[in-house]
Each structure stands twice: as structure tokens, then as C-alpha cells.
Chain A
Amino acid sequence: MISRITKTFKRLKKEGKKAFIPYVMAGDPSLERTKEIVILFGECGADIVELGVPFSDPLADGPTIQRASERALKNGVTLRKVISHVKDLRQITRIPIVLMTYYNPVFKYGEENFIKDSKDAGVDGVIIPDLPPDEAEDFIKQSRKAVLDSIFLLAPTSTEDRIKKVTKASSGFIYYVSITGITGANLLLDGSMDVLISKIKKYTDKPIAVGFGVSTPMEASAVAGLSDGVIVGSAIVKRLHESPDELKHYLISLREAIK
């Protein structure tokens, strides 16, 4: 069986397009609002939605998403609630949904139960930034069986060995972290991304989406030129709080830039 994410990338490839993958933290500021945002993402032409799960210690995230996580936790949003929220979303949208969660909530939930419940709820893929493929043998096996995509990360510092391992372990797409650092930092377009993405492509035909640090439509357009998809997180979360009226316009401008 082919996953909904793989189908999406195949379709885009045929159409000569690149994926637009916006991110929102579930439950920030409320799950009701998250539902509205996910629908808005769809209306603005998103291909896949990345849904953040709040965690007390979001190691890979910069200040913007850290604060979003704190707000969501304060509202009592948990991994369990996010999964059941996806079930609700499935009543109204078929857009592929990827959960981004840290490992300890998954560990506490139980890997097997997490995979089963996520799949049943309609989750399409999972990103766990603090679970390296080296430690994920079981997780990968079980999620493959359930046709739940497991998406692993590569960074500018990744060695060839690492690239081999991560491209093999990933399904759906490969998440290329554009910078050494945390979400929301400044993107550096100095040509090194080009080199690294070509290196990754030597090892795999799987789609590569780029995230961390993409914030302007111009950056999104440049990154789209090098990859199969662009993930935008902190910049969206920031707008959502600071200038919600501009969010729709911003999303559309990103969509138009990602070609």
C-alpha cells in the first residue's frame, strides 16, 4: 500500500510542482483554533500539514515554538488529545497530516499503541527529532507495517554514513534541516544546501523537504528550487499570534513562491 504522503509527492512530481508544508502547534492557543488553521492551510494550497505536539522540553525548537508549546501545555493539550483531534479533523479534511513530537511522550504512550492509534485516527506520518534511526529499529518496522510514514532528519553536518542510514530509514519524505541549529533561526543560502541535497540524492529517490529557518516567500522559492518541498513553521506561528489578519495573505504568498 502506498501512503497518502507518497501519493502526494508523486502527483506533484508529475505536475512539476513542489510541496508546501506549513506547520502549526496543536492547541496553540486552542484545539478549536488549530482546526481553523488546518482548514485555512488547505484553502491556501498546502499539500501536507505538519502538526506539532506540545512537549515540556522541545530541544530542537527555537523560542517561537517553545512558547507555542508552553501555551498548548497550559491548555492541557497532550499527545493523546492531539491524536483524537486528528480524528476530528478527518471528518472535514483529507489533507495528509504529519505529527511532529518528541520521543518521551511516544515512549510513555507505548510505541505500538502510538502507531496504532495515530494510524486509526488518520495520521499519515511522524517526525520525532530526538529519535535517531539507530534507536528506531522497532519503530520503523512497526510503522512500515501500519503504513505510517516515519520521517527522519538530515542536517548540514550529516556524514555520508548518516545520509545512507537516514535515507534508508525514512519513508514518505526526508526532512532536510537547512541549518545547524534550532527551528526559527536564520536561513543561510550560500550554496552549501545545493551541495548537500545533491549528495543526499545520490543515495535516494525519496522526496526531500527542507525546513528550519525558512521564513520569507523569497527563501521559500529558493529552497523549493533545490528540493521537493518546503516546510515553514516558526514564521507561521509568529504571524498567527502577532498579526493574525495577515496570515492568509502570507500563506498564499508562500504557496505562490513554492514552485
Chain B
Amino acid sequence: MPALKELEEAFFYSKKDKEFQRELRHLQKTYIGRPTPLYFARRLTEHLGGAKIYLKREDLAHTGAHKINNAVGQVLLAKKMGKKRVIAETGAGQHGVATATGAALKGLECGIYMGTEDMKRQALNVFRMRLLGAKVTEVPTGSRTLKDAINEALRDWTTNVRTTHYVLGTVFGPHPFPVMVRDFQSVIGREARRQILDAEGRLPDYLIACVGGGSNAMGLFYEFLKEDNPPTPPFSKGGKEGLLDKDIKMIGVEAGGKGIETGEHAARFAGGSIGVFQGCKSYLLQDDDGNVLGTHSVSAGLDYASIGPEHPFLKDAGRVQYTYATDDEALAAFELLSRLEGIIPALESAHAIAEVVKLAPKLDQDKIIIINLSGRGDKDVQHVAKIKGIEL
């Protein structure tokens, strides 16, 4: 608890600290490579024959995923707090790579926890983290995936709390993590809103993102959730009523795994109930006795039993709609985007694309969709080859 209090104070102080914000913006620009482009996916749009599809290219951020936005922010904060070491959990390996990168950048010691199962699926990222100087520790307990890596990171944190900051990778866990991670990721939506206004002169009709813990989705959605954003064109003849952010439809896509009916999935809204886990209250895949169930997804980054607590809030408020894509649908979308656009998406992001494959053809051609392409798929190439029975 004292560690959370200390973190909360440091975080809220940093928000007002001009020097901190200047350094963060400078690193976003010169190190992460922001702003990331908003790309009009012409061939995908033509192929699906409906709404115009834009991709927010977080896959082009340094280290290949949106995770770096949060990792650099938190590592900067850790440094300001005088911590000598950072630790992190990782599922797909992207957050681990991002944290190891931030630690190298700022000269901090780095420890990464990763489930045995995920280490197998993401061997390439394990090697990347080690190259970056991080100590990667295998977590062979429980379901041997992301949730167990979080348990182990939390155990490390309680043990070494005086010298160590825990860089939690998603909008989950105890306060202030959900708020803080959302804040560091909200740069995605801020840029996307400006970029779509530049490109189309108006707001999009849909925002779509995959949801594991939910940080890339919160990062894209958050700017569009603000109620005080002024109306945007096209204005009516009187020049008053323009488009409002509140009219934008937002969809979060969870991992449907092998299908909800099989029980092998990570669709918390479709198959879970409210629980209290790892420091927050949210939807949770659990049995009748409150034990957390094992999950399954082809993508390690979505393979998690709970979801950031702001997502249930947005769902209950009717603001964001949640659906899921199965492993097979995601794999098909992974190949489709590769062939049509020359962009290999992360398997996580492929879930968002899978939803658009279903949705876009049903919409008129003057509608606009923005997909958060949260990460690149290089890390998944080996795994996908294996699924297809191809030996590399």
C-alpha cells in the first residue's frame, strides 16, 4: 500500500511537472517515433467493399507496439522516484521488450517475468529482452501465462519495493495503474483524432481495438470519450451542429479462442462475471468458488482472465460495445492484412481486424473506421508457421 501511495503521488506530480512532460514529449518524438501515421488502407477497404478503413500505425512505434508509450512513461517516473530497478510482466513479450528498452535507455536494472507457455510461443521476444540487458525469469506456476507472470512480478515488487518500480503493462491492477497507463497511452487517440480531422475533415464513425488488459483500446478511445471536445465539421447550414465525439461507435474485441462454448477463450464479457483479482474489481473468468480459470487465445497478449476496470464501466454505461474474434478469424485476418496491405499485424491486433472484416462490408462507403493496429506481427511469424504446419 505505501508503494502505491508513493506511486500515486509521483504520477500526479509528474502530470503537472513541466520538465517531466517536456522530457516525455521529447522522447515520444525522437525515440519512440511519434506521431505514428494514420494510414488509409485502400486495398483492404476495396476488398471489403464498405466503410473506409484507417489504421493507426502503433506497429511503427519503436519496438513494434504501443507498449512502448507506457513503458517509457513509467521508466521516466521510476527514475524520478529514485528507483534503481524496474520489473514487468509480459504476455506476448511486447511489454517486456518495451520495458527492457526503457530500462536500457535510462540505465536501470530490469527484470521480466514471463509464463513458460508464453516463452515458448514468443521465443524471439525472449531473446530480444535478453539482448536489451533484461533478466527474463520463467514462471512455471498456475496456467503459465500472463496472469501468473503478474502474480510473480507482484511478489517481486512486495519483496524489493524499496528499490524497485513495477512497470505494469496494462490498464489493470490497483490504483493508480489503470489511470496512469491510460494516461501514457492516450497519446494514441490524441494523434488519431487530429489526423483523421486532417485527412477527412471529420470524425470517424467507428473506433475498433483489441482488448486483452485493454491498454491499446483505452489509449485510442480515451480522447474521444471527452465530453467537452468541441463539435467538428461538417456543420449544418446554420454553422452550429457539427459531429460530436459522443456519436462515435467504439468496439473492443476480446479473444474468442476456440469459441465461447468450448470454454477455451479469454472473452471476459461473454464468459465471465465480476470478481476481485490482482488489485482491482472487474470482469473475471472464474469458477463458482472464485478460483481464476485458465484462458486460451492464439495470441499471448490477449490470453488473460480479467480486463482493465474502466472497460466494464464503459460497457455498463453503454458507451463501448464488446465482442470477440476467434483464433481462426484472427489468423485469417493476420494473413489478409499481410497480403492486401503489406502489413503483418500482431495476432492481438488481428482480432480487431477480424471484427472489421465482419463489420465494414455492412456499412456505407462514406463511413469511416479507425482500427488501432497496436503491434507488428514479426514476433508471431514463427508461431503462425507452426500452426500451419510449416517448419522454418
Q: Is the interface of A mostly helix, strand, loop or mixed?
A: loop
Contacts known (A57-B277, A132-B1); A78 close to B161, Cβ less than 8 A? no
User: Within 8 Å of chain A (Cβ to Cβ): is B238?
Assistant: no
User: Which residue of chain B has its CB nearest to the CB of A157?
Assistant: B2
Chain A residue numbers with a CB within 8 Å of B271 are none
Query: Which B residues from 274 to 311 make CB contacts under 8 A with A?
Result: 275-279, 284, 286, 288-293
Q: Are B286 and A104 in contact (CB under 8 A)?
A: yes
Identify which of A55, A59, A107 contacts B155 (C-beta below 8 A). Answer: A59
Report Cα–Cα, A79/B288, bound state, in Å: 10
Q: Are B158 and A182 in contact (CB under 8 A)?
A: yes
Contacts known (A57-B147, A57-B151); A162 close to B2, Cβ less than 8 A? yes
Q: Is the interface of B mostly helix, strand, loop or mixed?
A: mixed
* B interface residues, Cβ below 8 angstroms from A: 1-3, 5, 141-142, 147-148, 151, 154-155, 158-162, 275-279, 284, 286, 288-293
Chain B residue numbers with a CB within 8 Å of A57 are 142, 147-148, 151, 277-278, 292
Q: Are B290 and A79 in contact (CB under 8 A)?
A: yes
Chain A residue numbers with a CB within 8 Å of B278 are 57, 59
Query: Which A residues from 153 to 204 make CB contacts under 8 A with B?
Result: 155, 157-159, 162, 179-182, 185
Q: Are A108 and B288 in contact (CB under 8 A)?
A: yes
Smallest CB–CB gap between B172 and chain A, Å?
Answer: 13
* A interface residues, Cβ below 8 angstroms from B: 55-60, 62-63, 66, 70, 73, 78-80, 103-109, 130, 132, 134, 155, 157-159, 162, 179-182, 185
Chain B residue numbers with a CB within 8 Å of A158 are 1-2
Q: Are B291 and A105 in contact (CB under 8 A)?
A: yes
Q: Are B3 and A157 in contact (CB under 8 A)?
A: yes
Report Cα–Cα, A66/B142, bound state, in Å: 9
Chain A residue numbers with a CB within 8 Å of B142 are 56-57, 70
Contacts known (A180-B160, A182-B158); A79 close to B2, Cβ less than 8 A? no
Report Cα–Cα, A35/B221, bound state, in Å: 54
Q: Are A180 and B276 in contact (CB under 8 A)?
A: no
Chain A residue numbers with a CB within 8 Å of B286 are 104, 108
In the assembled complex, 19 residue pairs joining A and B whose CB atoms fall closer than 8 Å, in A order, are A56-B291, A56-B293, A57-B148, A60-B158, A103-B276, A104-B275, A104-B277, A105-B290, A106-B290, A107-B290, A108-B275, A108-B290, A109-B290, A157-B3, A157-B161, A159-B2, A181-B155, A181-B158, A185-B159
Contacts known (A106-B290, A157-B2, A162-B1); A181 close to B151, Cβ less than 8 A? no
Q: Are A66 and B141 in contact (CB under 8 A)?
A: yes
Given A104-B291, A108-B289, A181-B155, 10 extra CB contacts under 8 A: A56-B142, A56-B291, A57-B278, A79-B290, A103-B276, A105-B290, A107-B275, A107-B276, A134-B1, A157-B2
Q: Are A80 and B289 in contact (CB under 8 A)?
A: yes
User: Which residue of chain B has its CB nearest to the CB of A181?
Assistant: B159
Smallest CB–CB gap between A196 and chain B, Å?
Answer: 13
Chain B residue numbers with a CB within 8 Å of A159 are 2, 5
Smallest CB–CB gap between A64 and chain B, Å?
Answer: 12
Report Cα–Cα, A55/B293, bound state, in Å: 11
Report Cα–Cα, A204/B154, bound state, in Å: 30
Q: Are B162 and A157 in contact (CB under 8 A)?
A: yes
Report Cα–Cα, A63/B151, bound state, in Å: 12
Smallest CB–CB gap between A191 and chain B, Å?
Answer: 17
Chain B residue numbers with a CB within 8 Å of A130 are 276, 279
Report Cα–Cα, A182/B284, bound state, in Å: 24
Chain A residue numbers with a CB within 8 Å of B291 are 55-56, 73, 78, 104-105
Chain A residue numbers with a CB within 8 Å of B284 are 104
Q: Are B288 and A104 in contact (CB under 8 A)?
A: no
Report Cα–Cα, A155/B160, bound state, in Å: 13
Report Cα–Cα, A103/B290, bound state, in Å: 9
Q: Are A59 and B154 in contact (CB under 8 A)?
A: yes
Smallest CB–CB gap between A128 and chain B, Å?
Answer: 10
Smallest CB–CB gap between B70 and chain A, Å?
Answer: 22
Chain A residue numbers with a CB within 8 Å of B155 are 59-60, 62, 181-182
Smallest CB–CB gap between A223 and chain B, Å?
Answer: 19
Chain A residue numbers with a CB within 8 Å of B277 are 57, 104
Report Cα–Cα, A78/B290, bound state, in Å: 9
User: Which residue of chain B has its CB nearest to the CB of A177?
Assistant: B158
Identify which of A70, A79, A104, A155 contacts B276 (C-beta below 8 A). Answer: A104
Report Cα–Cα, A155/B1, bound state, in Å: 10
Q: Which 10 A-B pairs have the closest CB atoms?
A: A108-B290, A181-B159, A105-B290, A78-B289, A56-B291, A104-B290, A56-B292, A182-B155, A157-B2, A107-B276
Smallest CB–CB gap between A4 and chain B, Å?
Answer: 27
Chain B residue numbers with a CB within 8 Å of A109 are 289-290
Chain B residue numbers with a CB within 8 Å of A63 are 141
Smallest CB–CB gap between B318 and chain A, Å?
Answer: 25
Smallest CB–CB gap between B202 and chain A, Å?
Answer: 44
Chain B residue numbers with a CB within 8 Å of A56 are 142, 291-293
Q: Are B2 and A182 in contact (CB under 8 A)?
A: no
Report Cα–Cα, A142/B323, bound state, in Å: 39
User: Which residue of chain A has its CB nearest to the CB of B141?
Assistant: A66
Q: Are A59 and B290 in contact (CB under 8 A)?
A: no
